[in-house]
Structure formats: structure tokens, C-alpha cells
Amino acid sequence: MSIADTPELQGRRIVLGLSGGIACYKSAELVRLLVKAGASVHVVMTEAAQHFVTPVTFQALSGHPVYTDQWDAREPNNMAHINLTRGADAIVIAPASADGIAKLAQGRADDLLSLLCLARPWGAGEERCPLLLAPAMNREMWAHPATQRNVAQVRADGALVLGPALGDQACGEVGDGRMLEPEELLEEIVAALRPKSLLGRKVLVTAGPTFEAIDPVRGITNLSSGKMGFAIARAAREAGAEVTLVAGPVALATPRGVRRLDVRSAQEMHDAVVPIAAQYDVFVATAAVADWRPATLAPHKIKKDGKKLAPSFELTENPDILATVAALPKPPYCVGFAAESENLLAHARSKLERKRVPLVVGNLGPATFGKDHNSLLLVDAQGHRELPPGGGMADKQTLARLLVAEIAGRLAAYQA
């Protein structure tokens, strides 16, 4: 299997714990997504959880026996609480009830799930098994001082708390306490298990096209979908960075944990990026910014006049965002993108020299705009090479992770 088609959690072993709550129904979809992502999932259910869903469901979805009792004699040594956590990459409790969180905060171990959490390798060594909690409860229960004390304690003890979300609750009330959706939890689990090569760093990313208005309803734009830039923002966040994403007009969900600023035109993107760029360690200019815009904006829609004469208008050059950031007194590490239709290497190298940046990433725009796969050409002063290594195509999220790892490796030398 090549790096281009390896599932995100291939070879990972996840222990999924369910404590009592109506959100248990979401956990079935979470198991399906984890398995699809390549993980081996082993489910542990409390007695309360079994009142909402059955172990049969999770055995069918995971392909493994479900554990419900600390005295389960199926284990040769009768120590499921030890065996399940040794070699596990993470324990995920979803849903994590108020009672379940209280048990963890107090170090109680009166059922299999709380017992295996206490018995997991929790130190800093290679065998460390991280604990991820997805709270799910009524809004008043979540806001209660006792719950907030317990959440603060489990965080202090090293657990990663995912959510909760705000929204409609099964009881009919609305507020904080909803368990994150399965897709959101999958993204968080993947992020938790990724290497933290940019921990403590700040990354600024631009993505998508810009739209340069001709009149109130028409404009100049391009076919960029923003998928590559959004994938880079997600990958940088997975690597531990604090990420800000400045997005042109695209229809994409914001990656979890990423701050997003929406803009429309090249000038708006320039005005959003340049004042803050010096605060960041890395600037990745993925956006396909329009080079020109109409010099004047027609106040009303330009109509046909019956004479079959096409309207004409003067163009003026847009500000160069990448070159402006690269010329700052203390610029971040700047990565430019070159979306070309021909002579990729020559045009990418020309952009590298013209913008005076340390790295330009080239790709063929017509071959990748709007698509889920891409191939990249990394061009710097020393030479060039392909991503994925050896050439070919890879999905954009895989490429984004490879590029972020590349940037992290270059960053230390750049700032030395």
C-alpha cells in the first residue's frame, strides 16, 4: 500500500468506551468511521450504556468482542483492564457522562471502563496511552460547578477533553452538553495521534480563490476550491500549531481548532493578512489570488444594449500579498504556491526568485482545481523534488501532512 492510499488510522488500536447517555447512538457511527479509517476498535460498555444500545451492535461494527464486565473470564488471565490498554494507541470515551468524568477525576475504579482508564500507561514514555473524553450530558449538568471541577481535574491529569458542542439536546433543552458529531470526533482522534512537529508555533494560511467584482452581480475569479489550503490548515493544527485560516469564497467546513477569517477580494485578503503576518512563525500562501481587478466598480448590473457590443473596462493590479509579507522586517517562514498550466518548474522557480521566499510549491491548476487529489513540486534555492516522493498523485490531506512535516523540518534552520 502506498503512502497515497494509506487510511488515516491504519495500524492504530483504539479502545472506545461508552458510559451511559442517549449519545451512545452516535458512537455506532464513530466505530464505523474509525474502522473505515483503518483502526482496530475494541469497545468497552458500562452497564448504563447497555440501556441505550446493545453490545451486539458494536461487535458487528468493530469485528471484535465487546467487553462489559471487569470479571470477564474470556481473558486467559482474567485481566481485561490490563490487556485492553497495553498496546493501545488511545482510549476514547464517547459519550463521557458526568458520572464517568467524576469517577476519573476521583480515581475510582468500580467498573471495567474506569478501571482500565486508571490502569492504562499514562506517563510520558513510548507506551503512553492517551485518554480522550467526549462529554455528553444535559446543559445544567455540564455547567454545574461539580462537573466543571471534575473536568478541570481530568485535564490536569492529562486527559484531552473534546467538546462538548452547543445545540439541541434530547431532553428538549438547548445549550452546551451535546457530544461532538462522529465526523468531528474522528478528526480530533486523528489530530491527537499525529506527531506534534509544530507544537508552540503559529501558522497563517490563505486558501481558495478571490472574487473581484465588475458590477454588483459579476466578477473575475478562478476555479480554486480551497481544498488544498484547508487541508494544510488542518495538518498544521494536527501538528500542534495555532492556526489562522484566511479563506476566500469557498463552500468548505472549517477544520476543527482552526481560526477562520472569511474574505472576498484580493484587497480584503491583503488587509486581513499583512497586519498580522509578523505574529506568525509560518505563512503558507495557498490562495489563488487574482492578479488584477477592475479599476472601477459599475454601480449597477451591466446590461446588454442590443448593439451586441461587449462592455470594456480597465484593469488594475492587485497587491502582492506574498511578496509584501516576505518583505516585512521580521517575516515568517514564507511558502508560496504556484498554480500553473504549463512549464511548472520554470514558473515556480521564477516565482521563488521574484517573491524572495525560501520555498515555492508548484502544481498544475487545471489538473487539481476542485479535485481531491494533487501532486506537488517543492522548489527552493537548492533544487526541486516531488510530493508524494517518487511522483504520482495523493489525496490532498496526505499531501498537506507531508508538506507540513517538510516545513517543520526547514523552520528550525530558517530561524537559527
Query: Binding site annotation covers 403?
Result: no
Q: What is the pLDDT of residue 363?
A: 84
Q: How confident is the model at residue 5 (pLDDT cuts 50, 70, 90)?
A: low
359 is in an annotated binding site: no
* Structural domains present in the chain: 3-193 (3.40.50.1950), 202-415 (3.40.50.10300)
pTM value?
0.90
Q: What is the mean pLDDT of residues 342-367?
A: 87
Question: Which pLDDT value is given to residue 1?
Answer: 42
Q: What is the pLDDT of residues 171-180, one digit of tens each?
A: 888 999 999 9
Look at residue 82 in the predicted model and tell me its pLDDT: 85
Residue with the bigger pLDDT between 236 and 6: it is 236
pLDDT for residue 3 is more than 60: no
C-alpha 204/C-alpha 202 separation (Å) is 7
The answer to whether 248 and 269 are in contact (CB under 8 A) is yes
Count helices and strands (H / E) in the chain.
14, 21
Return d(Cα 209, Cα 411) in angstroms, integer: 27
pLDDT exceeds 70 at position 6: yes
Pairing, β 333-340 against β 282-285: parallel
Q: Is 319 annotated as a binding residue?
A: yes
Q: Is 245 annotated as a binding residue?
A: no
- pLDDT at position 325 over 70: yes
Categorize the per-residue pLDDT at 415 as very low, low, confident or very high, splitting at 50, 70 and 90.
low
CA neighbor of 402 nearest in space, from 256, 187, 253, 231: 231
The set of long-range contacts for 57-61, using a CB threshold of 8 Å and a minimum separation of 24, is: 57/28, 58/16, 58/18, 58/27, 58/28, 58/31, 61/28, 61/31, 61/32, 61/35
* Range with the poorest average pLDDT among 110-114, 118-122, 311-315, 379-383: 311-315
The string of pLDDT tens digits covering residues 196-216 is 999 999 999 999 999 999 989
Catalytic residues: 171
What would the mean pLDDT of 285-293 be, rounded to a whole number? 93
Q: Please compute the mean of the pLDDT values over residues 80-88 and round it to a whole number.
A: 87
pLDDT score of 261 = 97
Q: What angle do CA 12, 18, 20 make, to 5 degrees?
A: 170
